[in-house]
C-alpha cells in the first residue's frame, strides 16, 4: 500500500505554558472557524496531488487541537475522508489538554473515526502544574480520562514531564503511580528544556531547574519504573503496553511519507522534505518552504536508533542497496563494550543507557 500519514496542526492554546516556545496563540471562535475553512481547503488541494496515497494515520497536534471543539474536528475528519482514500484500520489521534478535553463529545468523535487520544497531563501534582503554567489540575485529568473511556476510546496516552522545577524522585513517582492507576496503554515522557523565549528562559533565576545528572536520574527511574509495570520502552521518549505504540509517530522514525498541514508543520513525501512557515496567511496561500532531501542513510540511522528496533542490517540493505559501513560497525562495537549499544546478527540498537546519551552517540556514529 502506498501509505500516507496526515498531521493536522492546530496552533491555538488557551494560554501560554511557562516552558513553551511553540508557535501558538489564543483564538476567537471566528478565528477557529476560519482556520477550519483553511484546513478543509488545503486538504482538498493536497488530496488532488496525492491521489495514489492511502491515509493510514491521522494526528491532530498543536497547540491544543481539542480547542477546536467537537463540530470543527468532525468537519475536518469528514473532509479528510471525502478527499483521501482512508485505510479501514486508520489510527486517528487527537491531542487534548485536560481542560478543553472536558468540553469535547468523545462519543461523537469516536463515531467519526477518532480512536486515540494523547492527553497533556505533564504531572499529577497541582503545585507542579501551577509552576509549569498549565491551566488544568489533577482532577481534570481524571475527568478527561473518564470521559474518553466512556466514549469507547481506550487507546489513551499521557504526557509526563521530567525535570519540572522542584520535582524530586518522590513527586515523579507520584505522577508515574497516578498514570499507572489510570491504566493507560501509552506514556510519553519529555525532559524539560529551558528555551530563551519563554517565562522559564526570561526569569531563569527565579526557578530551580534539574541539572543534567538529576535529569538523567529521572529518566532512568522512569524507564525502570514503567518497565516493571509491564511497559515497553519502544522509543527514547515513549512507553507502551500491549503493542499500543503510536503508529503515526512511528512513521517519522521509519521515514514513511507524511503530510503536515498548518503553520510550522513539516512533511516528507518521496524524498522531499518541506514545511510551512509560522504564518497562517502563508499556509492559507499554500506557501511552503523546501527543506532538502530526506530518507538519506544518515537520517535513517539517526531516527531508527531512537527506537528499540534499532538499525536492521537487512532493512538497511533493502533501502540503500549496501551494508552498514565497516567504520560504523567498528564504532558501534566500541559503544557496545561500554554498555551503550547492543549488537547481534540482525543489527544494532541503543541500550537504556545509550538512549540517555543518544544525541552524542548518534552524532559520533554517523
Ligand atoms: S498547551 Fe502545549 S502548545 Fe500550548 S502553550 Fe502549553 S505547551 Fe505550548
d(CA 114, CA 111): 7
- Inter-helix orientation angle 69-83/29-49, to 10°: 10
Of ligand 1's atoms, which has the minimum distance to the CA of residue 14? 4
* 113: nearest Cα among 84, 140, 138, 134: 84
Q: Which three cell numbers stand for residue 276?
A: 510551512
How does pLDDT run across 62-102, given as a tens digit for each residue?
Answer: 999 999 999 999 999 999 999 999 999 999 999 999 987 78
d(CA 131, CA 123): 11
Is residue 23 within 6 Å of ligand 1 at its C-beta?
A: no
d(CA 236, CA 308): 8
d(CA 108, CA 151): 8
Q: How many CB atoms lie within 10 A of CB 339?
A: 11
Ligand 1 centre to CA of 64 (Å) is 7
**From the centroid of its chain, how far is CA 102?**
21
* Residue whose CB lies within 8 A of the most ligand 1 atoms, among 14, 23, 26, 62, for a mutation test: 62
Is the omega angle on the peptide bond into residue 286 within 30 degrees of 0, that is, cis? no
In terms of DSSP bridges, do strands 289-293 and 272-275 run parallel, antiparallel, or are they unpaired?
antiparallel
How does pLDDT run across 157-167, given as a tens digit for each residue?
Answer: 999 999 999 99
Torsion sign (Cα): 218, 219, 222, 225: negative
Q: How many CB atoms lie within 10 A of CB 221?
A: 15
Low-confidence ranges of the chain (pLDDT < 50): none
Of ligand 1's atoms, which has the minimum distance to the CA of residue 16? 5
d(CA 144, CA 159): 14
pLDDT of the residue at 84: 98
pLDDT of the residue at 102: 80
d(CA 307, CA 235): 4
DSSP at 184: -
**Helix or strand run (H / E) with residue 116:** strand 116-122
Whether this prediction's pTM lies above 0.85 is answered by yes
pLDDT of the residue at 101: 76
Q: How many CB atoms lie within 10 A of CB 325?
A: 11
DSSP at 12: B
- Could you give the domains of the chain? 3-252 (3.20.20.70), 297-366 (1.10.10.920)
How does pLDDT run across 292-344, given as a tens digit for each residue?
Answer: 999 999 999 999 999 999 999 999 999 999 999 988 999 999 999 999 999 98
N-terminal to C-terminal alpha carbon distance within the chain: 31
Is residue 264 within 6 Å of ligand 1 at its C-beta?
A: no
Q: Which residue has the cell 461523537?
A: 108
**Helix or strand run (H / E) with residue 102:** none
pLDDT of the residue at 1: 62
Ligand 1 centre to CA of 15 (Å) is 8
Do residues 98 and 141 lie in contact, with contact meaning Cβ atoms separated by under 8 Å? yes
* Residue whose CB lies within 8 A of the most ligand 1 atoms, among 11, 17, 61, 67, for a mutation test: 17
Do residues 273 and 266 lie in contact, with contact meaning Cβ atoms separated by under 8 Å? yes
d(CA 100, CA 295): 37
Amino acid at each position: 500500500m502506498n501509505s500516507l500519514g496526515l498531521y493536522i496542526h492546530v496552533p491555538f492554546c488557551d494560554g501560554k505554558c511557562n516552558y513553551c516556545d511553540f508557535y501558538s496563540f489564543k483564538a476567537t471562535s471566528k478565528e477557529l472557524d476560519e482556520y477550519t475553512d483553511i484546513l478543509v481547503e488545503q486538504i482538498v488541494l493536497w488530496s488532488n496531488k496525492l491521489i495514489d496515497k492511502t491515509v493510514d494515520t491521522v494526528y491532530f497536534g498543536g497547540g491544543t487541537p481539542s480547542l477546536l471543539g467537537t463540530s470543527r474536528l468532525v468537519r475536518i475528519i469528514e473532509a479528510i475522508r471525502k478527499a483521501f482514500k482512508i485505510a479501514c484500520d486508520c489510527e486517528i489521534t487527537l491531542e487534548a489538554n485536560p481542560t478543553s478535553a472536558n468540553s469535547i463529545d468523545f462519543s461523537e468523535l469516536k463515531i467519526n473515526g477518532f480512536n486515540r487520544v494523547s492527553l497533556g497531563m505533564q504531572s499529577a501534582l497541582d503545585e507542579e502544574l501551577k509552576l509549569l503554567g498549565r491551566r488544568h489540575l489533577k482532577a481534570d485529568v481524571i475527568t478527561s480520562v473518564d470521559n474518553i473511556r466512556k466514549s469507547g476510546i481506550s487507546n489513551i496516552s499521557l504526557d509526563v514531564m521530567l525535570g519540572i522545577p522542584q520535582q524530586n524522585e518522590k513527586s515523579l513517582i507520584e505522577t508515574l503511580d497516578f498514570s499507572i492507576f489510570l491504566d493507560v496503554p501509552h506514556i510519553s515522557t519529555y525532559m524539560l528544556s529551558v528555551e530563551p523565549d519563554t517565562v522559564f528562559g526570561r526569569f531563569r533565576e527565579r526557578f530551580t531547574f534539574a541539572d543534567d545528572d538529576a535529569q538523567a536520574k529521572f529518566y532512568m527511574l522512569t524507564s525502570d519504573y514503567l518497565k516493571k509495570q509491564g511497559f515497553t520502552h519502544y522509543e527514547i521518549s515513549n512507553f507502551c503496553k500491549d503493542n499500543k505504540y503510536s503508529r503515526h509517530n512511528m512513521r517519522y522514525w521509519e521515514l514513511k511519507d507524511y503530510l503536515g498541514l498548518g503553520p510550522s508543520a513539516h512533511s516528507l513525501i518521496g524524498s522531499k522534505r518541506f514545511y510551512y512557515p509560522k504564518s497562517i496567511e502563508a499556509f492559507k496561500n499554500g506557501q511552503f518552504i523546501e527543506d532538502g532531501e530526506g530518507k538519506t542513510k544518515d537520517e535513517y540511522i539517526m531516527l531508527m536508533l531512537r527506537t528499540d528496533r534499532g538499525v536492521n542490517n537487512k532493512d538497511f540493505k533493502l533501502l540503500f542497496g549496501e551494508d552498514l559501513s565497516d567504520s560504523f560497525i567498528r564504532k558501534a562495537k566500541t559503544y557496545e563494550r561500554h554498555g551503550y549499544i547492543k549488537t547481534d546478527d540482525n543489527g544494532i540498537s541503543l541500550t537504556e543507557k545509550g538512549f540517555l546519551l543518544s544525541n552524542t552517540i548518534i552524532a559520533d556514529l554517523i
